[in-house]
Every structure is written in C-alpha cells, then in structure tokens.
Amino acid sequence: MKIQTKSKKVNKAWLNDHVSDPYVKQAQKEGYRSRAAYKLKEIDEELRLVRPGQVVVDLGAAPGAWSQYLRRRFAPKAAGVGGAAVGELNGTIIALDLLDFEPIEGVHFIQGDFEDEAVLRQLEAAVGDRPVDLVVSDMAPNLSGVEITDAARIEALVELAIDFSRQHLKPEGVLVAKVFHGSGYTQLVEAFKKAFKKVKPIKPKASRDRSAETFLVGIGLK
C-alpha cells in the first residue's frame, strides 16, 4: 500500500507540473505535439543549425515535435496548421522511431528500431547518396532504473547515431544528440570529440531542471 501511495503522489506531482508547465502551454497554443520542440528551437537559435534546403535526419522522432519544428523552418512563409507549416517544402526531413506517429506533410517517416540492421538499411536507402546536413537525435531507451545498465543502453544509442553521422554527414555537418549526466557521460563526450572538430554541450531552458538530460552538439567531422 505504501508503494502505491507513493506512486500516486509522484504521478500527481508530475501531472501538476505538466499542466502548469509554460512550455506545455506554449506547445498547445502553437500546435506542437510536445514541449520538446522548444529544446530543438533553443539549440537552433543559439547555433543557427537549421536552414531551408537542408537534408535532415530526425532520430527518435515520435511524437513528431522536432519534425514539426524542422518543417516550419523549411517553410517559414507558409501558413501553419497543426504545428507544422503546409505547402511547398524547401528541404528534406527523414524521421525514424520505434513508435508510429501521425503523418506530417512532406516528412518521410520510417517506423522501426534504429538498432535493427534492417531498419538502418531502410533509413540509408531513404537518404540515398545525398549528403546529410544535420542529424538530430532525441532517442532514449526504456530505462530500467539500474544505472550501469541504463548508461550502457544510452551509450549504445548515441554511438550508433555518431556512426551514422560519420557515414552520411557532410564534412561540415552537425549531430545533435540527447545524453544524460551520470555514468557514461564522460565517455560520450570523448566519443563526440573523436568524431567532431567542435563539441558543445547545451542544456536548453526547456529541459526540466530536475532532468539529467542534456544535448551534445558535434560540428564538423574530423
């Protein structure tokens, strides 16, 4: 009974925080599918990463807020409905996630596990021989609560994103990947430094203060 009571308190506290969260309210107002859109928006506004005409791969894309943001950036003058601009799209967005999401006009979506070789082949086929300008990854594994195990799962996903970026990014291309402070963080920073000329950690204001998440940005392949 104590466990259930604690769980209910935690769920109630989360719900209260969620309902009162200014980014949640803003997302609802602007038609984004989640508050996560503002994390990418902050990173983009600081580093000026997204420009019309680019080829972008969105990993861990569901429910689609990052693809929505990218879609708006690629069609800034088009009318916006449902959180994404409609009409002519000046750019390419290829999104992938284990979960399905509601289609976004002009976004090529692949459903599957990024760790699955067959799914990776599908993604590579969608990219074709086009050099990629930007890879954004909001991927995160289902956490077990066992720090060593979770750190290994996170590290594996990020390293796959780095490997994909090495093979498909333009020489001056960029990878933005979600990571978590704690066990394994230092190793991930080092992995980024081996792959990219410039590495910048960013903790967007839209990331909750109590969250261990941060984002590593790798700029320019070595």
Which of the residues 39, 178, 194, 205 is marked catalytic? 178
Residue 2 has pLDDT above 60, yes or no: no
CA torsion angle for 156, 63, 118, 116 (degrees, to 10)?
30
Domain hosting residue 41, numbered range: 32-221
Residue 139 has pLDDT above 80, yes or no: yes
Are 46 and 26 in a shared domain?
A: no
Q: What does the pLDDT read at residue 9?
A: 47
pLDDT tier at 17 (50, 70, 90 boundaries)?
low
Q: What does the pLDDT read at residue 23?
A: 85
Are 115 and 215 in a shared domain?
A: yes
Are 26 and 37 in a shared domain?
A: no
Binding residue positions for S-adenosyl-L-methionine: 64, 66, 97, 113, 138
Q: How many domains does the chain contain in total?
A: 2
CATH number at residue 59: 3.40.50.150
Are 22 and 47 in a shared domain?
A: no
Report pLDDT digits (tens) over 119-136.
999 999 999 999 999 999
Are 115 and 217 in a shared domain?
A: yes
Are 3 and 38 in a shared domain?
A: no
Are 100 and 180 in a shared domain?
A: yes
Predicted TM-score (pTM) of this structure: 0.87
Are 45 and 128 in a shared domain?
A: yes
Could you tell me which residue, 97 or 17, shows the higher pLDDT? 97
Lowest-pLDDT range, 95-99, 143-147, 186-190? 143-147
Give yes or no: 170 in active site: no
Burial call 52-67: b when 16+ CB within 10 Å, e when fewer = eebbbbbbbbbbbbbb
Are 23 and 36 in a shared domain?
A: no
